[in-house]
Amino acid sequence: MRELAGTFKALADPTRLRILNLLLRSPLCVCEMERLLDLPQPLLSRHLAYLRNYGWVESQRDGMRVNYQINEKQRLIAELRPFLLRQFEGDAVGRADLRALESAVHRRIERTRGHERDTHARS
């Protein structure tokens, strides 16, 4: 019962739901979420720590960056994922966050392609 109560506590905040909306689709670092959600880093870090403590997300340090992703080992995530995705897609804020994510992913791909072209041109 404690796990279930913790799950719903973790979901009971709009900021944490916005974070989950993004992380259900792509791993991200705090700096990326800061830009996508237009929220300050300390606020995001506090909510990410809450989600990590309840088993929703995992973090991995990569130099100065901390990358976050959904904890796929958390059994309730598999069961709630389809429901959450439908809810996020039906919500105006959720859709706006997804558009921002898609745009950021597109820019990341373009930067990677540009870097690869530059590297090949120098070879």
* pLDDT on residue 93: 96
Q: What are the structural domains of the chain?
A: 2-122 (1.10.10.10)
What integer is the mean pLDDT of 2-20?
90
Q: Is the pLDDT of residue 3 over 90?
A: no
* pLDDT on residue 13: 96
Q: Residue 25 has what DSSP assignment?
A: T
Supply the mean pLDDT for the chain. Answer: 89
Those residues with Cβ within 8 angstroms of residue 57's Cβ, 6 or more apart along the chain or in another chain: 19, 23, 48, 51, 68, 69, 70, 71
* pLDDT on residue 121: 62
**60-113 pLDDT per residue, tens:** 998 888 999 999 998 888 899 999 999 999 999 999 999 999 998 888 778 777
Nearest residue to 64 (alpha-carbon basis) of 30, 35, 101:
30
Confidence of residue 18 (pLDDT cuts 50, 70, 90): very high
Q: Is the pLDDT of residue 25 over 90?
A: yes
The reported pTM is 0.85
